[in-house]
A and B are shown apart, each in its own frame.
Chain A
Amino acid sequence: MSALRELQRDMASAIREAAATEHLTLRPLTTLPAPHRLVLHARNYRASLQGVLASAFPAVRRLVGEGFFAFTTARFASLHPPRNPVLALYGADFPGWLAAAPQLHDFSFVADTARLEWTIHALSDALPAPPCNLNELAGAADAYVTFAAGAVLFEAPAPVADLIEPDADPAQLDMTAPCYLLLAPTEQGVTRITLTADSFATLTALSNGQTLSQALADHAPADFIALLRRLAQRGVFSAITPVSGLTS
């Protein structure tokens, strides 16, 4: 390893992990002792990553409080440093980190809230898909439905769609009420469509490659075709392919 690479590796780990430096010798300066100057970089590194996480997970921050958020994001930043210089991509592992945190063992809704916040964050740069024409269904015996790239089906065992609202108070919510959502990018941002359990199951079956009649045979939610029509108009699907079209 070159001397420069060795020095930079040493300096990087000193900044990330507050480790002792073997190869880095600093010149004494009058205003602040040399080791403290490396701490400035360490502080900036940690604070900037914590800022990125605070920006992507505002509801989690509110739910767990400033103290725990600062503690857990510092630990997360230390163990999960960025692997990409595009900082908007940083934080994808944070919901999983919260799910595994022993302090949150009895508060799994926090990790679920993080999962929803990250889904919305990840979709915020995505472009909306054009509406899909459902008229092709007319006269077809059956059809496959292809979801647009930005459409995401989301479920959680707690009311996380309510929890991400700025004034949400878990004490005022039925925390056993599950959440079923379909999220998709729109011109204005990210739309969240609340679904029933049956509609969610049917859409999940469609996204897993079942035909419409197969999916409806298992779940049969009321007014599903009307829902399908609304979703198609909002760019949730990229294609609706009649089964006869597939075999012709």
Chain B
Amino acid sequence: MRESGHILPLPAHVAGIGLRSPHMEAVRGRRSPASFLEVHAENHMGDGRAFRALADIRRDNAVSLHGVGLSLGGAEPPDAAHLERLVALSDRIEPVLVSEHLSWCRDGDIYMNDLLPVTYTREAMSCIARNIDIAQSALKRPLLLENPSHYLAFAEPVARETDFIAELCRRTGCGVLLDVNNVAVSAANLGFDPVAWIDALPAGLAGEIHLAGHEAEDGVLIDTHGAPIPAEVWALYAHAVRRFGPLPTLIERDRNLPALDDLLAEAARADAIAGEVCHVRAA
């Protein structure tokens, strides 16, 4: 798939929330105040209770699918059976966005249950572009690719991450899911300037923004999705909106899940920041 077109009909100035199982019944059968609800695709595959719950929620809400298991950053092509499951879910839910990660998790028939970092080499570019092509062709739609959190750096000379991502987008027509928290975490862990990272990402590629919290451990920031969004991530978000304009923005929380209203409050704050930044831009 080569054609571009990851900009989808979402109200860009309104934020959504990541929907996890403890909150599903609360939004089932009604329209959520969040502009869209994002779920982990792997939690709703098949034809069971979890799929039915999501299908019910989809009747009243825009839903986006966020995959974690395709291993697009792997040397091996995506697992055909798993891709088939994702395609089946996407066809039935008709999500507003489908995203995956610029990382790998598969080693032969073993799944590592982690988002492992990619070396930004020519060989990796070729493999990942092939993998994205396979996934997009099966899904019959462009993907958004999320920049990962980094905890280590490879010693070999590699391309700049933003250049690598931009080239992947050029080759495959995919877009970027800009995870602002991951930029902040990686910048702290690897020692680069997060603002410069965002400035180096070409405008027009990002189709969604993720916001989340992180925690410190042994002098390293860990992308736990287990804490409220910290001030530096909100500041970086404002910078991203200033640079890219308002984009569908998602509040992600996986651990220490707060009340639904707390997530909606963070979504409202993202709206307020985007509104303020855009007002200033317009002025």
Residues of A that sit less than 8 Å from B by CB: 2-5, 7-9, 11-13, 15-16, 24-27, 29-32, 34, 36-38, 40-41, 44-45, 48-49, 81-88, 124-127, 185
Contact = CB atoms under 8 A, between A and B. Distances in A.
B49 A3 contact: no
A25 B156 contact: yes
In this complex, which of A30, A40, A45, A49 has the most chain B Cβ atoms within 10 angstroms of its Cβ?
A40
B119 A85 contact: no
Contacts of B190: 29
Nearest to A38: B152
Interface in B23-46: 42-43, 45-46
Contacts of A29: 152-153, 189-191
Interface of B: 42-43, 45-50, 52, 68-71, 74-76, 79, 82, 85, 104-114, 116, 119, 121, 123-124, 127, 151-156, 189-191, 217-220, 222
Contacts, number: 123
Contact of A31 (B50, B69, B219): B219
7 contacts: A2-B127, A7-B119, A9-B107, A34-B152, A40-B217, A83-B111, A125-B46
B110 A88 contact: no
A88 B113 CA distance: 12
A124 to B, nearest CB: 7
A127 B220 contact: no
Contacts of B74: 8
B86 to A, nearest CB: 10
Contacts of A26: 152-155
Contacts of A11: 116
Contacts of A82: 110-113
The 6 closest A-B pairs by CB, nearest first: A85-B69, A125-B48, A12-B107, A37-B152, A5-B75, A25-B155
Nearest to A88: B43
Nearest to A2: B75
B191 A127 contact: no
A16 B46 contact: no
Nearest to B81: A84
A38 B218 CA distance: 13
A29 B186 CA distance: 12
Nearest to B104: A8
A6 B63 CA distance: 38
A124 B49 contact: yes
A86 B116 contact: no
A89 to B, nearest CB: 10
B131 to A, nearest CB: 12
B109 A8 contact: no
Contacts of A30: 191
A50 B167 CA distance: 38
B123 A48 contact: no
B75 A44 contact: no
A8 B106 CA distance: 9
